[in-house]
Amino acid sequence: MPAKKPVILSLTKMHEAGLGLLRESGDLRMSSGWDHDTICREIPGAEALVIRTQGEINAEVMDAAGPSLKVIGRHGVGFDHVDIEAATERGIQVVYTPGANMESVAEHAISMMIALSKYFMPSIEALKNGDYFARTKWMGRDIKGKSLGIIGFGRIGKRLGEIAYQAFDMKVQYTDIIDMPANSIERAGGANRVDLDTLLATSQYISLHVPLDSSTRRLINTETLAKVRPDCILLNTCRGPVVDESAVAKALDEKRLYGYGADVYEVEPPAVPGHPLIGRTDNVILTPHNAAQTEESLINMAQWMAEDVLRVLDGQTPKYPVNNPEAVAEARLRRGL
């Protein structure tokens, strides 16, 4: 009799590159929803849980799964909606896909920089309304040679710095809590490490690439925005709550900020109407959290996540763990799992 396949509950659809792997090696089941009650009702007996951005995976959800749950696979980079401490205490490995969407998110940030600098959005709107002669209404600027400040110089931040320097000869500076290897600094044109206040005060473009935690929540607020140059364009492609959106709207209204581009929001999906930034066109460009929605990124995220989930189910060490595999193993032993 063939061995029983492990039950894998997925809250999300994904590229067949990952689904196929999970389906081949497990009993793949698609959740009927990602609200708390539905997850708790459908997760009992699952050995793996696959998630994207939806659903809060807290201790109650993990306890509803019972002792069978071994791994939570995050299709993507951020994991602020997963209680990592609770997972570790219960011997549950959490894996994610750092670097899988590096190129697409970095390119998205560059695209927003260009679009805001060249007034793409209001120009497109004017042409749609038949106002061809609005072509001279806005005076754009080139990004070549301008200063770029990157807050969070991880994989995506470094890639953005490389593109900005190598393609546009931008002057790259960054701030990060971790020392960067020399080769990554060199590829970004000798990127200069500075403190946050210096970066805010001297950058014509600022791009955010930090995880969401207690130290970064509302990092960009009324106080920090008061330190930026009035010709600064601010970009957020990491996590929405890193930015106080009302403070950004006020800074734009008072001409203390040149432009704002975002792919993420304080609350997702954002409230429409009533959102302080959605609907603006002159100095704002917003996209619906789809910076990583490219074929290449979706293949990478689905495949890397599925491979790591299956590694854990097979008793192997994952390639991209969020929590410490040794701590997870110790917790499982302690709990007799």
Q: Which active-site residues does the annotation give?
A: 239, 268, 289
Q: Are strands 71-74 and 48-51 parallel, antiparallel or unpaired?
A: parallel
d(CA 163, CA 232): 19
- DSSP, collapsed to helix, strand or coil, labels residue 282 as coil
Looking only at Cα atoms, what is the longest distance across the chain? Answer: 75
Cβ neighbours for 48, distance < 8 A, ≥ 6 positions apart: 6, 7, 8, 9, 22, 26, 69, 70, 71, 72, 73, 309, 312, 313
Which residue in 269, 307, 298 sits closest to 286, CA to CA?
Answer: 269
Q: The dihedral of CA 146, 150, 153, 156: what is its sign?
A: negative
Beta strands in the chain (DSSP E): 7-10, 27-30, 48-51, 71-74, 93-95, 147-151, 171-175, 192-193, 205-208, 233-236, 259-262, 284-286
d(CA 98, CA 319): 10
Cβ neighbours for 79, distance < 8 A, ≥ 6 positions apart: 94, 96, 322
* Angle in degrees, 0-180, between the axes of helices 16-25 and 295-313, rounded to the nearest 10: 20
* Residue 226 CA, distance from chain mean position: 25
Other CB atoms within 10 A of residue 66 CB: 11
323 in Cβ contact with 110 (< 8 Å): no
State both tokens at 191: 């990127």
